[in-house]
Amino acid sequence: MASPTLSTEQQILQAAQAVFLEKGLAGARMQEIADRAGINKALLHYYFKSKEKLSETVVHQTMGLMLPRIWAILEADQELFDSIRRLVHEYGTFLQENPLLPLFIINELNRNPRFFVHLMLGDKPGERLQRFRQRVEAAVAAGLIQPISTPQLLVNVVSLMIFPFLGRPLFQAVLGLSSAAMQAELDSRLTEVAEFVIRAIRA
Amino acid sequence: MASPTLSTEQQILQAAQAVFLEKGLAGARMQEIADRAGINKALLHYYFKSKEKLSETVVHQTMGLMLPRIWAILEADQELFDSIRRLVHEYGTFLQENPLLPLFIINELNRNPRFFVHLMLGDKPGERLQRFRQRVEAAVAAGLIQPISTPQLLVNVVSLMIFPFLGRPLFQAVLGLSSAAMQAELDSRLTEVAEFVIRAIRA
DNA sequence: GTCTATATTCAGATAGAC
DNA sequence: GTCTATCTGAATATAGAC
């Protein structure tokens, strides 16, 4: 049960986020959310008409924390390698603090791409990346980096950051690492991934 | 409805795999599996006592296709860069043919790590990677590649291969690509990822 | 082995009192 | 706003005839 100084609505949202992240949307139970918020199911439906509505509110709130920071970095006018270092470090830190988020997001993204993409990109999806694309192409043209398309570069960076949190149980077992040792590996990626990418693309 | 020349059991397994991959374990309905197999629910339970049992059989069967090939590459005594190229190409091709598999696997892996890890690695999880580990360390010692730990290298390669299939809807929207264009990007990764990794680690 | 019909369980949602 | 009690629907699983 969360701090009683929060409004009931905030208690619910906090409890709902925790349960959704732990169990996934399909696995989450309204009963459990109510229990953790210290109320009952009826009141849950009084505040949020349905589970679907509740989840949308939670997703909206949760994504709001991260997205502006990512876009700020991608749109900043800055040396490309520094952008990559900042992106890896800031987004990586956020992921360390929210390690369950990737699995939840990936599932909802695939279940309802429309809703999700609109939430992340607003009305004009393709355009937000224009600045970053120009900077990559300029760096290629100037011979600063290997010829690589913006899609491939971006997919690579994002994959390297997020996937370890999804495959963690597998990696830990295959590599024969303790939970602490695996955590240390993830920590060191906050800098290692950036250098890995930079070495790969540097001309 | 599948080919009627198959035994009922095979019809069921085939239908079950399709539904599990499309809907996920939680989202799959026994009714739909029965429908696609051309039988009814009761018969489904006659062959497989429960949904859980059925899913275990399907997972077992599906993973069996891929795992031996991966281990063969990791355990082969071969030049390291060639191993990476083979791994990316063979595993990548498999993923292209089974694009829905990653999402299903990742969910089941996190839902039940024990069962899953045992299925993938057998009784002695940490040991199967010994040969590959030695080869990486030897390459580092010989100055052929940058100093990198086996865990980081392996996590990187696997992340670069699998994650694009999980984040595909997002990437497609962010990058403003058509479905065909996105597919082309994924295709070209079959070779590009290997070269990306090799450039990153080459001394 | 295969079917129809039914039992059981569970979870989301609502009614209505306070 | 908050509660107890209840409805409704869906989905897994089983009984029993053929």
Provide CATH code, domain A1-49: 1.10.10.60
**Residue B133 has what pLDDT?**
96
Q: Which of B27, B117, B152 sits opposite A192 (nearest CB)?
A: B152
| Segment A1-13 mean pLDDT | 79
Is residue B69 less than 8 Å (CB to CB) from chain A? no
Q: Where are the domains of chain A?
A: 1-49, 58-201
**Residue B116 has what pLDDT?**
86
User: How does residue B4 score in pLDDT terms, banded at 50, 70 and 90?
Assistant: low
Provide CATH code, domain B1-48: 1.10.10.60
Between the CA of B68 and the C1' of C7, what is the distance in angstroms?
A: 44
Between the CA of A44 and the C1' of C18, what is the distance in angstroms?
A: 18
For residue B189, list chain A residues with Cβ-Cβ distance below 8 A. Answer: 152, 155
Residue A101's nearest CA partner among A154, A61, A133 is: A61
Strand partners, B145: B202
Radius of gyration in angstroms for the set of CA atoms belonging to chain A, rounded to a whole number: 20
Q: How far apart are CA A120 and CA A66, in angstroms?
A: 10
| Segment A21-25 mean pLDDT | 97
- Closest nt to residue A37, judged CA to C1': D2
| Segment B130-148 mean pLDDT | 97
Size of interface A-B (CB pairs under 8 A): 168
Count of Cβ atoms closer than 10 Å to residue A159 Cβ: 25
Give the single-character DSSP code of A126.
Answer: G
**Residue B71 has what pLDDT?**
93
Across the interface, do A103 and B110 touch by the CB < 8 Å criterion?
Answer: yes
Six-digit token string for B172: 């497609």
Residue B2's nearest CA partner among B47, B34, B49, B28 is: B34
Contacts of B64 (CB under 8 A, 6+ apart): none
Six-digit token string for B134: 């030695």
Instruction: Give the position of tokens 């599948």.
Output: B2
| Segment B130-136 mean pLDDT | 96
Span A58-91, pLDDT tens digits: 999 998 888 999 999 999 999 999 999 999 999 9
Between the CA of B11 and the C1' of D17, what is the distance in angstroms?
A: 25
Instruction: Cite the DSSP H helix spans in chain A.
Output: 8-27, 30-37, 41-47, 51-75, 80-97, 101-111, 113-121, 130-141, 150-166, 168-175, 179-201
**Residue A1 has what pLDDT?**
46
For residue A170, list chain B residues with Cβ-Cβ distance below 8 A. Answer: 109, 113, 116-117, 120
Q: Under a CB-based contact definition with an 8 Å cutoff, are residues B106 and B127 in contact?
A: no
Contacts of A27 (CB under 8 A, 6+ apart): B26
Q: Is the CB of A60 under 7 A from strand C?
A: no
Contacts of B128 (CB under 8 A, 6+ apart): A174, B71, B74, B75, B121, B122
Cα dihedral angle (A173, B110, A179, A161), rounded to 10 degrees?
A: 100
**Residue A4 has what pLDDT?**
54
User: How does residue B64 score in pLDDT terms, banded at 50, 70 and 90?
Assistant: confident
Instruction: Give the CATH fold of the B59-201 domain.
Output: Tetracycline Repressor; domain 2 (1.10.357)
| Segment A10-29 mean pLDDT | 97
A43-52, A165-174, B115-124: segment of lowest average pLDDT: B115-124
| Segment A120-130 mean pLDDT | 83
Give the single-character DSSP code of A202.
Answer: B
Q: Which of B24, B154, B196 sits opposite A156 (nearest CB)?
A: B196
**Residue A90 has what pLDDT?**
96
Instruction: Give the position of tokens 């809807």.
Output: B169
Provide CATH code, domain A58-201: 1.10.357
Q: What is the mean pLDDT of chain B?
A: 94
Is residue A145 over pLDDT 70? Answer: yes
Is residue B2 over pLDDT 50? Answer: no
Across the interface, do B176 and A113 touch by the CB < 8 Å criterion?
Answer: no
Between residues A5 and A38, the one the model is more confident about = A38
Is residue A3 less than 8 Å (CB to CB) from chain B? no
